[in-house]
Amino acid sequence: MKTVIERFLAEATADEYPKAGSSSRHGSPFGSVVTTVVVLVTLALLGVVAVVAALAARSSVEERQGTRADLIGRVTAQYDTVAALQEEVAVLGSTVDGLRLDLIEAAAGAGSAEEVEQLAEVTGVTALSGPGVVVTIDDAPDAEPGSLDRVLDRDVQAIVNELWRMGAVGVAVNEQRLTQASAIRGAGEAILVNYQPLNRPYVVRALGIRSSGTEDGLAELLDSLAQDYGLVSDVEVGDVTLPAGEFRDPRFAQSTGGSP
């Protein structure tokens, strides 16, 4: 009694040639020119199709790689464009700021202009430069993706908070100026500041601090990060330049008036 699978296999692998000894058109195999030609043509057909298929498969791979390289090039070009435009924005922004201050001074007197200037510095909407410290922090040299030995958003937060506590007037992380509406948060593997992903190493610039933080909590914090997670950090005192931040109007949730 054959099982279903055995019967299926026997049927599927049955061959199409007559059993040996039964009637055959040719007395001996390869006995005629026709046989030779048929075999030759059939096998040549197989060769052509095989080569064509192989070439087609390979060319599609090459095509994909070409497309990929092309896309990477376009992305890089767009990055350059964005960087150039951002520089232009910064230049125009400082021009606008100057003009606005002139206008305020003309309309409301020098006192108002100074007040506006101070407020702008505090809120982080103007570029600033002056003495300060630069804290550089990077992942542990052998950190694996997803491990705690990488710099996390809360490490950057702790450093920034320490710098504020030490009396920083303005802080920027990797060219992202912190304003009142800035958040430092993690999104997957990346740290976002002002919704922009940052690349390591993380450079925190703080203006208005003159000490390197040895007697402050900063040194303690960096030491503990180095000991616990192997994070590599460096503190430099010197002149820093902070880019202007973007002022975002706070948005408030509004009731639609309907019942919940």
Residues that bind another protein (CB under 8 A): 9, 12-13, 15-22, 24-26, 29-30, 32, 34-36, 38-53, 55-57, 60
**Complex with another protein: residue 40 or 183, whichever CB lies closer:** 40
* Amino acid at the residue 15: D
- The partner residues of 236 in beta bridges, in order of sequence, read 134
Q: Tell me how far apart the alpha carbons of residues 95 and 101 are, in angstroms, rounded to a whole number.
A: 10
Both tokens assigned to 230 = 């192997």
**Complex with another protein: residue 32 or 95, whichever CB lies closer:** 32
**Rounded to the nearest whole angstrom, what is the least distance from the CB of residue 72 to another protein in the complex?**
25
Asked if residue 167 lies in contact with residue 139, where contact means CB atoms within 8 angstroms, the answer is: no
DSSP secondary structure letter of residue 16? S
**Rounded to the nearest whole angstrom, what is the least distance from the CB of residue 69 to another protein in the complex?**
22
**Rounded to the nearest whole angstrom, what is the least distance from the CB of residue 40 to another protein in the complex?**
4
**Complex with another protein: residue 60 or 241, whichever CB lies closer:** 60
**Rounded to the nearest whole angstrom, what is the least distance from the CB of residue 22 to another protein in the complex?**
8
Task: Strand 176-177: give its sheet, edge to edge.
Answer: 176-177, 170-173, 202-207, 128-138, 232-242
**Complex with another protein: residue 12 or 253, whichever CB lies closer:** 12
Q: Tell me how far apart the alpha carbons of residues 108 and 101 are, in angstroms, rounded to a whole number.
A: 10
**Rounded to the nearest whole angstrom, what is the least distance from the CB of residue 177 to another protein in the complex?**
51
First CA to last CA across the chain, in angstroms? 70
Asked if residue 219 lies in contact with residue 146, where contact means CB atoms within 8 angstroms, the answer is: no
**Complex with another protein: residue 52 or 103, whichever CB lies closer:** 52
